């Protein structure tokens, strides 16, 4: 084994190191810890945390139920508002959502660990689910089609199935789940949790999953609109932004999202190659996930380069700290000018220094070169509008919806990252799906 | 520098903290550890006649716990000493000889005959101990045999036994009272009539700690069945404080030394008992939860408090708050308070609002200029103190008394600063004419 070797190599670490690096990054609470933490909740009136949760989970209620050792009741309070509450407990940036709103912050700067408590409740419930928490209303004979089995589509499908309708879920990938399955850092959702959660979600019945079915290739919107009573679009963002400079055909220049997806599907991390020096260009969660996982695969130097300052990064403070704790360097105020390649292999990136000129980003005129074997592009994803066609109106390149998820087409609703507005969070996608399902139900229940 | 030395019913100890008659004072080993730690005295675990009683070998204790397992209340079904009387007497003698500056009292429980009491008193007096405490409080087990609280619940028995004891010993006699009665003043008066030198209270309260809902069995249980135990610990402190104060202010018992017992956990608790009339205090549960080391915190805290307040001795503040206790009918109905929320301290939990709205007087608003903001509506506030009581932030909500001349916006009446109580209130059908000042 050549742990520090130059170039792109697999097997940089020992088996134990891989196992440790890709284990649960944030250990779950045990029963004692959960009871003590639950006791910290003040059970606020009209609690600010509920308002800060995009799905409106009644947080004081579920925490009180944990305190009363009623884990099933706690899980119900979570899942009835957020059917993917198990995954959201793992991936929500709680530090900018519920936990930011916690009144404990005022005196202690230490909110109740709502995310970890939510995980305790949902994990506890999934370990011993017992009788179904949710059952279906009498069959209505109505059918809806969902494009994209990610968080928005799954949430939509489950709620509609509960209301008595039948749902067919189309997804372009071999497995359902969308970003839950292909898009999160591996250490955030270990032990195949994403598929277990989806299996449980689908167990309500009435939802048929058709994988490897891409819109525009295998199914077309016009047919869906014709054949179903309603259509929900939740395809997420399939496109990846380009760097805006020449991108040579060279080994080592990659999309961060592809790398993350590959890691999620990897059965053996020692077979996943990584460079000795890695540069990640971008400032969001994807950049952090790619950078940290590069480090965890054994890369020696990993640097996130972002063209603006720390405050402008869409990765939360918590995520930035996490990256730094994992040994990632974050470099601000630099924009890529040229990807350097030699013999078909990436050798580095030349960056221009930048600064803010009254809010406008300008280059200072100076530049520097950062050597790299691997360069990840993590500067945002785009909605690929062509698949759905011109019938669906867009704004800033994404689908426009009203508060209920209605698009410009009378029979089409949409939600999740492919829609305009919001912060592109899993938990928001779940809420979009839920609201759209309620809207669709009102529309189609009477025929 | 505060002087913590104590003389209670003629018994001297270096501080006013005694360990109550209970498992911590079961034998010489425990008591010596307690004295090494600094306890002022012990009331040796109750001794009785041979053959010794037999205890259960399953759970004898159970606790009422907070979420993070702090003991709020505690319960036991242990009986009196299960060791031969002579063993206890020999150990008492040796410990008293080795620790002459500490108080060693014997707690006694024998059947209600004069001979039994005379015999045990003679044996106990011979140990050189400082006094005796008559256990008329133990509410479980022994009471089924006509002892403990079965005696303490009948004032005539208390008086009778106290009189026998005073006749048959020169030692100070303290009567330990059970709180499992309707009016604590009656057994206290009986003790005094019988000639007792002091009372100690409270013993434990009848209690069942809970039910195992899987097995549908009461807790704690011995092989599937349980028996009520005696409840003690921090949770019973308010009950004990009230009973101590009632004896302190009762005309017939006023001045009789009271050894305060019941949930004393911190120096502050002890100071409160003393302020309400206790001459010294006894501790058990706190030691059973934390060990004997707490005596250092009790004495240190009490001494610092006394120094800060300018009390040189325990006697300087003994009973000092008793005079503030009166009958409800004497409370000043012209006194008006309003809750005030300190907005700098408020963390916006909103609990004050919801409890006031749901269960009290709808006197706390939730918004100001469209923003979350909790403010007392003086025109609705009756000054009930509910919000103060449940606010999770100390000193965030306080009560403010209206000054003379201020208008109570709830009633439209002006605060006069003049005292008037129920006895002369127009709504009182039994009212007396107000005295003209």
The answer to whether B426 faces chain A, any CB pair under 8 Å, is: no
Question: What is the reported pLDDT for B434?
Answer: 66
Q: CA-CA distance, B332 to B335, in Å (whole number)? A: 6
Which one, of B189, B196, B138, B142, lies nearest residue B164 by Cα? B196
* Least confident residue range of A4-13, A175-184, B163-172: A4-13
- Contact criterion met (CB < 8 Å) for B348 and A48: yes
CA distances from B339 to A322, B336, B361 (A): 45, 10, 12
E strand spans, B160-291: 173-176, 198-201, 205-207, 210-212, 217-219, 229-232, 258-261, 280-283
Q: Active-site positions of B?
A: 138
Residue B112 has pLDDT above 80, yes or no: yes
Instruction: Give per-residue pLDDT as tens, A43-84.
Output: 999 999 999 999 999 999 999 999 999 999 999 999 999 999
Cα distances from A361 to residues A314, A370, A382, in angstroms, run: 16, 21, 22
**Per-residue pLDDT at A1:** 44
A106 touches chain B (CB under 8 A): yes
Task: Answer whether B68 sits within 8 Å of A46, measured CB to CB.
Answer: no
Which of B236, B288, B242, B286 minimizes the C-alpha distance to B262? Answer: B236
**Of B224, B193, B196, nearest in space to B211 by CA:** B224
- The pLDDT value recorded for residue B437 is 53
Q: What is the DSSP letter of B79?
A: -
Chain A to chain B Cβ contacts (< 8 Å):
39
ipTM for this prediction: 0.87
Q: Per-residue pLDDT averaged across B238-257, rounded?
A: 98
Chain A: residue whose CA lies nearest to B349: A44
Q: Is any Cβ of chain A less than 8 angstroms from the Cβ of B347?
A: yes
β-pair type (B205-207, B229-232): antiparallel
Q: Do B351 and A42 touch (CB under 8 A)?
A: yes
Residue A380 reports pLDDT greater than 60: yes
Share of chain B above pLDDT 90, in %: 95
Q: Is A114 left (phi over 0), alpha (psi -120 to 50) or beta?
A: alpha
User: Model confidence at A2, in pLDDT bands (50, 70, 90)?
Assistant: very low
Answer whether B349 sits within 8 Å of A46, measured CB to CB.
no
Q: Do B349 and A103 touch (CB under 8 A)?
A: yes
pLDDT one-digit tens code per residue, B24-39: 999 999 999 999 999 9
Burial classification of residue B244, based on how many CB atoms lie within 10 Å of its CB (0-12 exposed, 13-18 middle, 19 or more buried)? buried
The pLDDT confidence band at residue B230, using thresholds 50, 70 and 90, is very high
**In chain B, what residues touch A67 (CB-CB under 8 Å)?**
67
Tell me, yes or no, if A394 comes closer than 8 A to chain B by beta carbon: no
Q: Does B68 touch chain A (CB under 8 A)?
A: yes
Cβ–Cβ < 8 Å for B248, B258: yes
Residues of A in contact with B349 (CB under 8 A): 42, 44-45, 103
């Amino acid at each position: 084994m050549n742990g520090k070797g130059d170039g792109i190599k697999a097997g940089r670490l020992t088996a134990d190191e891989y196992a440790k690096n890709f284990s649960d990054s944030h250990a779950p609470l045990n029963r004692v810890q959960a009871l003590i933490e639950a006791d910290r909740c003040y059970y606020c009136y009209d609690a600010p945390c509920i308002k800060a949760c995009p799905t409106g989970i009644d947080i004081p209620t579920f925490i009180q139920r944990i305190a009363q050792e009623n884990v099933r009741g706690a899980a119900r309070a979570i899942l009835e508002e957020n059917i993917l509450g198990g995954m959201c407990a793992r991936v929500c940036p709680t530090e900018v959502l519920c936990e930011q709103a916690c009144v404990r912050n005022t005196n202690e700067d230490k909110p109740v660990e709502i995310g970890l408590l939510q995980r305790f409740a949902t994990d506890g419930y999934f370990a011993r689910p017992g009788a179904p928490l949710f059952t279906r209303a009498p069959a209505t004979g109505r059918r809806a089609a969902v494009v994209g089995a990610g968080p928005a589509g799954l949430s939509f499908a489950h709620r509609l199935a509960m209301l008595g309708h039948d749902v067919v879920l189309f997804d372009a990938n071999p497995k359902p789940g969308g970003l839950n399955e292909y898009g999160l850092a591996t250490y955030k959702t270990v032990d195949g949790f994403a598929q277990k959660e989806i299996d449980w979600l689908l167990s309500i019945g009435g939802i048929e999953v058709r994988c490897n079915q891409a819109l525009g290739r295998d199914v077309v919107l016009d047919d869906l609109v014709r054949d179903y009573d309603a259509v929900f679009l939740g395809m997420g963002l399939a496109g990846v932004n380009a760097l805006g400079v020449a991108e040579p055909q060279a080994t080592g220049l990659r999309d961060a999202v592809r790398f993350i997806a590959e890691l999620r599907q990897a059965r053996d991390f020692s077979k996943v190659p990584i460079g000795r020096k890695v540069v990640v260009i971008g400032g969001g969660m994807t950049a952090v996930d790619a950078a940290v996982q590069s480090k965890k695969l054994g890369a020696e130097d990993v640097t996130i380069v972002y063209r603006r300052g720390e405050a402008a990064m869409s990765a939360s403070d918590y995520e930035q700290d996490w990256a730094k704790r994992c040994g990632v360097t974050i470099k601000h105020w630099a924009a890529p000018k040229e990807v350097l390649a030699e013999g078909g292999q990436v050798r580095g990136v030349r960056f221009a220094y930048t600064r803010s000129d009254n809010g406008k980003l300008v280059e200072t005129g100076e530049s520097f070169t950062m050597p790299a074997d691997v360069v990840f592009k993590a500067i945002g994803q785009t909605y690929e509008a062509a698949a759905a066609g011109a019938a669906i109106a867009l704004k800033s390149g994404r689908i426009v919806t009203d508060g209920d998820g209605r698009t410009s087409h009378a029979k089409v609703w949409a939600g999740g990252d492919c829609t305009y507005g919001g912060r592109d969070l899993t938990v928001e996608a779940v809420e979009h799906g839920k609201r759209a399902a309620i809207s669709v139900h009102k529309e189609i229940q009477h025929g | 520098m505060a002087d913590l030395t104590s003389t209670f019913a003629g018994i001297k100890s270096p501080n006013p903290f005694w360990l109550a008659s209970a498992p911590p004072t079961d034998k010489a080993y425990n008591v010596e550890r307690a004295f090494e730690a600094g306890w002022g005295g012990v009331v040796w675990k109750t001794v009785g006649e041979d053959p010794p009683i037999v205890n259960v070998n399953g759970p004898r204790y159970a606790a009422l716990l907070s979420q993070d397992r702090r003991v709020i209340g505690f319960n036991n079904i242990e009986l009196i000493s299960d060791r031969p009387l002579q063993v206890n007497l020999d150990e008492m003698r040796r410990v008293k000889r080795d620790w002459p500056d500490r108080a060693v009292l014997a707690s006694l429980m024998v059947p209600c005959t004069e001979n039994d009491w005379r015999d045990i008193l003679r044996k106990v007096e011979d140990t050189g101990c400082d006094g005796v405490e008559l256990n008329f409080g133990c509410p479980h087990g022994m009471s089924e045999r006509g002892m403990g609280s079965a005696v303490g619940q009948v004032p005539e028995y208390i008086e009778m036994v106290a009189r026998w004891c005073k006749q048959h010993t020169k030692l100070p006699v303290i009567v330990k009272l059970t709180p499992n009665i309707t009016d604590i003043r009656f057994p206290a008066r009986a003790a005094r009539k019988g000639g007792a030198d002091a009372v100690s209270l409270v013993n434990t309260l009848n209690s069942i700690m809970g039910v195992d809902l899987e097995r549908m069995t009461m807790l704690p249980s011995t092989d599937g069945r349980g028996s009520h135990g005696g409840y003690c610990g921090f949770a019973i402190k308010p009950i004990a404080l009230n009973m101590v104060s009632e004896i302190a202010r009762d005309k017939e018992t006023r001045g009789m030394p009271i050894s305060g017992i019941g949930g004393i956990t911190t120096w502050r608790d002890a100071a409160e008992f003393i302020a309400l009339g206790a001459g010294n205090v006894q501790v058990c549960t706190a030691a059973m939860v934390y060990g004997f080391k707490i005596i250092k915190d009790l004495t240190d805290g009490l001494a610092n408090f006394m120094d800060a307040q300018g009390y040189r001795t325990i006697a300087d503040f003994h009973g000092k708050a008793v005079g503030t206790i009166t009958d409800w009918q004497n409370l000043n109905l012209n006194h008006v308070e309003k809750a005030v929320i300190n907005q700098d301290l408020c963390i916006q939990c909103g609990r004050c609002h919801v409890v006031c709205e749901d269960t009290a007087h709808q006197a706390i608003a939730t918004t100001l200029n469209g923003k979350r903001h909790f403010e007392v509506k003086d025109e609705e506030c009756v000054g009930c103190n509910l919000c103060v009581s449940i606010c999770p932030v100390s000193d965030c909500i306080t009560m403010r008394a209206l000054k003379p001349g201020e208008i109570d916006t709830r009633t439209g009446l002006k605060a006069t600063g003049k005292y008037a109580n129920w006895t002369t209130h127009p709504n009182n059908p039994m009212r007396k004419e107000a005295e003209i000042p």
